Amino acid sequence: MEIDLSQFHQVFYEESFEGLDTMEQELLNLEEDSDRENINTIFRAAHSIKGGSATFGFKEVADFTHVMETLLDEMREGLRPVTKEVVDLLLKSVDCLRGMLFRMRDGEDVGDEHVELINYFNELLANEIEDASQQENVFEQSVQESLKDNCEDKVWKIEFKPKSYILETGNEPLRMFRELKGFGHLEVDAHLDNVPCFDELKAESCHIWWSLTLDSEIDEAAVKEVFEWVEDDCELNIDQVPRSNDKNVDKDQLEQPQMEEISEDIKQISSETSGQKADQEEKKQTPLVELKNKKEKSEVGTNTASTASIRVGIEKVDTLIDLVGELVITQSMLSELGENFDMSKLTQLVSGLSELEQNTRELQESVMRIRMLPIGFVFNRLPRMVRDLSSQLGKKVQLDIKGESTELDKTVMEQIGDPLTHLVRNALDHGIESAEERISADKPEEGTLTLNAFHQGGNIVIEVSDDGKGIDPDVIYKKAIEKGLINDSFDTPPEQVLSLIMEPGFSTAEVVSDVSGRGVGMDVVKRNINNLGGSVEIESELGKGTTFTIRLPLTLAILDGQLIKVANETYVLPLVSIIESVPLNMAEISRIAGDMKVYKLHDDYIPIIDLKSEFEIQQDLSSSSEGLLAIVEGENRKIALRIDELLGQQQVVIKSLETHYKSLQGVSGATILGDGRVSLILDVVGLAKRASEGANRRNNKVA
């Protein structure tokens, strides 16, 4: 029976993308600390991608990853130093692999960018063994030193029985044997008893198993490390036994045949690499800097399409199963009551319904927790961008990440990536100064960019802070007047002046670069966060730095709402946007130009929006002094909504109005109430804009 491997492709892609993220993160850590464990982690991730690619027949990916493995193997063995050039090449390779996998997943051709990188890898590897005789001397010396130290009477006996499919995973037993041979004298016996007759022989399967004898003083952990990549794909027995007398040959007898084999291997490698180098000299050399600048650009945020699955901790699944069990028990109890119900069982019915409500609420919360993921998944994409962009701008920047374990809904997290990318780019380009400017301002030459996330009430708060030069409100104010965004005759509060940088097309940059300056990035930030039902606040101090504070709902599926009554209609206000409510007859109301009513709250004058007239609701005339004013806030703007009555508070399930009907300004969605009626969920920011545009139209008609 043939197995359709395509059903496993999605899992392979998801695991490969996770592996690439791991490789990228560890490569960035490698620049700061060349720890061997970092290299092992990178090697394992590359090896897993290579094995999966070989299994599914993705030859281009497997071949490219194999070349990367060769370089990583040299770094792991200490034969190649960790340099910025090597890290740059491997980071570029990660970008290339990510692009190849995205195109393959979408059914497109993988492209040819990897071919150029393979050529560069081969050139780098060929240059490393350019002087074959020097390499041979170094190799011989290291082996001789190893053999001289081999004075203890211990031998490792190894039985290695690989599974038949091991070759299909990209693992090569002979490569492991070569690595063992580097530790000391190795004898290999192949067992052919499992080899089938010729008619049943499969070329892609491994039918041989081996017995190995390693004469070396290395410990068992070092032996196991050679086989760590295949430990799940083989039967492995490692035993330490005393050396028999006939094996106690003198050092010269032990060294000579081994050194002859090694010399032959080196001569063969030297011949092959010198031939490769001759071929490459005929081609135009491609410097690494050109490879880095060549399109396609693998920007952070590019190709970050939403994934179709979520990795869930087993404890969350266990909790869900327990709650479903409780729900089944409650349902059975209520079902039995329903079949034999009489008034004497009313108390049991009320108790059962209360238990059902509690179980349903707990089940809802558990299901929502399944969708919650650490924001570190987004934050971890940014160190690479900070590294590359700060290098491009010639600035020294330290990225400090806090609160990466803070959880939020998967849908929210997928849509916050672009706004965070724009904020970080602007902080690097406009906020943090160059090293020379910082030194002249008595600051450390290295700037600090901080990402922080934490829960506050029913929201998640994300802060993007820098210790740069800050934002000058006077410059913003003058630029806004030039563009006609504000009137010079009005006194605009500083926080509103700073918020103008998020208006479409607004930019204070004198020079437009490929990093920023066209006035579109901050507009994207504002629009995307508004679409998520969130808000952005800006705090800045000249010479000290700037902080952008993003407030987002934990989930887009459920909302804590306040039910309000307007005439005969019921609406839902997001609970987090409500500041207070006051009786209309006690409110201090004034009128300003354009016949707009405003409510005085402390020292502020807040425009009043009458929802009856705004939504054209028909009802009998009532006293103008009846009702309430609900003071709400969104995007640092307060408005007062005139309503008739405050009803109860409850969690509501949000349904997209745009999907089922069309988008309406001032309405963010709809929900179904307990009595079956549909209620609209109000959007405070949209209502404020709608009222402002209506007032402008009325003023223009009067003029």
Query: How far apart are the C-alpha atoms of 584 and 646, rounded to whole Å?
Result: 13
Query: How far apart are the C-alpha atoms of 256 and 250, rounded to whole Å?
Result: 11
* Tokens encoding 671: 């929900």
Contacts 24+ apart (CB under 8 A), 527-530: 528/415, 528/416, 528/418, 528/419, 529/416, 529/419, 530/635, 530/685
Contact criterion met (CB below 8 Å) for 308 and 17? no
Q: Of 462, 437, 435, 591, which is closest to residue 537 (Cα–Cα)?
A: 462
Query: How far apart are the C-alpha atoms of 42 and 50, rounded to whole Å?
Result: 12
Query: How far apart are the C-alpha atoms of 495 and 598, rounded to whole Å?
Result: 20
Strand order in the sheet with 569-574: 645-653, 558-566, 569-574, 678-682, 667-672
Query: How far apart are the C-alpha atoms of 61 and 67, rounded to whole Å?
Result: 10
Query: How far apart are the C-alpha atoms of 470 and 467, rounded to whole Å?
Result: 8
Known catalytic residues are 47, 69, 426
Q: How far apart are the first and last CA of the chain?
A: 82
Q: How far is CA 642 from CA 9, 212, 265, 412, 566, in A?
A: 56, 86, 87, 31, 8
* Tokens encoding 211: 């017995």
3-state secondary structure of 537: strand
Q: What is the dihedral of CA 407, 408, 411, 413, to 10 degrees?
A: -70
Query: How far apart are the C-alpha atoms of 533 and 227, rounded to whole Å?
Result: 52
DSSP states along 659-680: HHS--BTTEEEEEE-TTS-EEE
Contact criterion met (CB below 8 Å) for 543 and 469? yes
3-state secondary structure of 642: strand
Peptide bond into 140 cis (omega under 30): no
CA 517 centroid distance within chain: 26
Q: How far is CA 525 from CA 503, 522, 563, in A?
A: 10, 5, 30
Find the angle CA(52)-CA(53)-CA(57) to the nearest 5 degrees.
120
Find the angle CA(46)-CA(227)-CA(191) to the nearest 5 degrees.
125
CA 583 centroid distance within chain: 48
SS3 sequence of 152-205 = CCCEEEEEEEECCCHHHHCCCHHHHHHHHHCCCEEEEEEECCCCCCHHHCCCCC
According to DSSP H, which parts of 463-610 are helical? 473-482, 494-499, 521-531
255: phi then psi, degrees, rounded to nearest 5 = -80, -40
Query: How far apart are the C-alpha atoms of 536 and 550, rounded to whole Å?
Result: 5
Contact criterion met (CB below 8 Å) for 98 and 298? yes
| Rg of the Cα atoms in the chain | 34
Contact criterion met (CB below 8 Å) for 198 and 251? no
Per DSSP, which regions of 192-251 are E strands? 209-215, 234-241
Q: How far is CA 676 from CA 512, 575, 671, in A?
A: 54, 21, 10
Contact criterion met (CB below 8 Å) for 438 and 395? no
